[in-house]
Homo-oligomer: A and B are copies of this chain.
Amino acid sequence: MSGSDLFTGTLDILILRTLEAEPLHGYAIGKALRDRSAGVLAVEEGALYPALHRLEGRSLLESEWGRTDTGRRAKFYRLTAGGARHLAAESARWAQYSDAVAAILGRSE
């Protein structure tokens, strides 16, 4: 409970969503999430890579080794059709869930 950890279960959707626009390699996904959230979504590597393997194991992602712009070796992940479906479903579930929590917590204004 370091105060900056993720709420379990959200990482998968965040990854899938990040890959919806374009294939990216793992490290770039972590960086993208951190940047786009101004540091709020600080994904630890020890959570990120297992998550990617997990998602690939469920065929929600596919991977392929390649090279970055700067010529570095990296594994690129791409969303599968199943992954897109899963993202849509889980994304809806998250929306419903966070609305419910917000309703309980009450708007802070």
Contacts and interface: CB of A to CB of B under 8 A. Distances in A.
Interface of A: 3, 5, 7-10, 13-14, 17-18, 33, 36-38, 40-41, 91-108
Main secondary structure of the interface of A (DSSP, over half): helix
B104 A94 contact: no
Copies of the protein in its oligomer = 2
A101 B3 contact: no
B8 A97 contact: no
Contact of A104 (B3, B36, B95): B36
A37 B107 contact: no
A42 to B, nearest CB: 10
A95 B104 CA distance: 12
Q: Counting chain B CB atoms within 10 Å of each CB, which of A9, A10, A13, A105 scores highest?
A: A105
